């Protein structure tokens, strides 16, 4: 029986330290992706503010490179040109700067109000050539507002919330606002900033995202994890060898 969203949230909160630790032991991404991510965040820190970063060509180029390494310029997620990318970030600078003081784990955060403001920024950014903007925009805003925006993706975020293609395309606004409210609720309870440190634990929102990935993997919610589990079980039962043998006989 599929887990309800309420059960997923409760289980993630209850086992949060373990999920964070598990991701650290077996991260879902490679060292090159991590290095670029950290370089972009370091530049953001050096520039001193979200507004300054949004206006910086150096930051824009670093962020775009990170997104490319995070496969945001492939598989149909075509990024706009480097010049247009920079221009879009610059246009968002004022709105992004207005959100700088907000943090996801703040107990007084008016998450519905902040989600609405963030959605306005997402709508204006338009960083890809495709209609679906949610993944690229949240990953970009994560680097500008690392204490506020959790980077989202189809594989794990989508699996956690049980979203279909419509949620990523037709009802993106509702999807984002729902996710943001859930993330704020979780962050208030677990205070992810306490786990920040080495590796991928670069910010409070990244820690939360990492734990969510581990949760999905452990419960085999995403397709890749389910497929891996099926192959592992088939191997344990000796079924893969039988299938390979039968396939070889058919070829001969």
Percent of the chain having pLDDT more than 90? 78
CB of 38 closer than 8 Å to CB of 105 = no
Higher pLDDT, 222 or 172: 172
| Average model confidence (pLDDT) across the chain | 90
- What is each CA distance from 167 to 186, 188, 225, 245, in whole angstroms? 21, 25, 21, 42
Return all residues near 18 (Cβ < 8 A) that are at least 6 apart: none
Q: Would you state the pLDDT for residue 72?
A: 87
Delimit the domains of the chain by residue range.
5-221, 222-252
Q: Would you state the pLDDT for residue 132?
A: 82
Mean pLDDT, rounded, for 242-249 = 53
Query: What ranges make up the beta strands (E) of 96-196?
Result: none
Give this prediction's pTM. 0.87
Give the pLDDT band (50/70/90) at residue 240.
Answer: low
């Amino acid at each position: 029986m599929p887990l309800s969203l309420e059960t997923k949230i409760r289980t993630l909160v209850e086992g949060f330290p373990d999920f964070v630790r598990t991701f650290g032991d077996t991260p879902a991404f490679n060292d090159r992706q991590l290095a670029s991510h950290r370089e972009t965040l370091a530049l953001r820190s050096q520039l001193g503010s979200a507004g300054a970063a949004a206006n910086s060509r150096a930051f824009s180029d670093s962020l775009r490179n990170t997104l490319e390494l995070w496969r945001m310029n492939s598989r149909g997620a075509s990024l706009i040109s480097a010049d247009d990318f920079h221009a879009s970030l610059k246009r968002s600078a004022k709105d992004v700067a207005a959100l700088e003081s907000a943090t996801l784990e703040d107990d007084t955060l008016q998450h519905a109000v902040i989600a609405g403001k963030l959605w306005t920024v997402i709508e204006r950014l338009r960083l890809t050539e495709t209609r679906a903007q949610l993944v690229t925009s949240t990953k970009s805003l994560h680097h500008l507002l690392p204490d506020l925006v959790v980077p989202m993706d189809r594989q794990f975020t989508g699996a956690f919330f049980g979203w279909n293609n419509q949620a990523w395309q037709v009802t993106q606004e509702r999807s984002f606002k729902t996710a943001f409210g859930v993330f704020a609720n979780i962050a208030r309870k677990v205070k992810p900033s306490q786990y920040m440190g080495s590796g991928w634990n670069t910010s409070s929102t990244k820690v939360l995202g990492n734990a969510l990935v581990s949760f999905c993997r452990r419960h085999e919610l995403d397709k890749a994890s389910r497929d891996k589990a099926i192959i592992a079980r088939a191997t344990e039962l000796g079924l893969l060898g039988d299938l390979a043998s039968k396939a070889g006989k058919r070829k001969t």
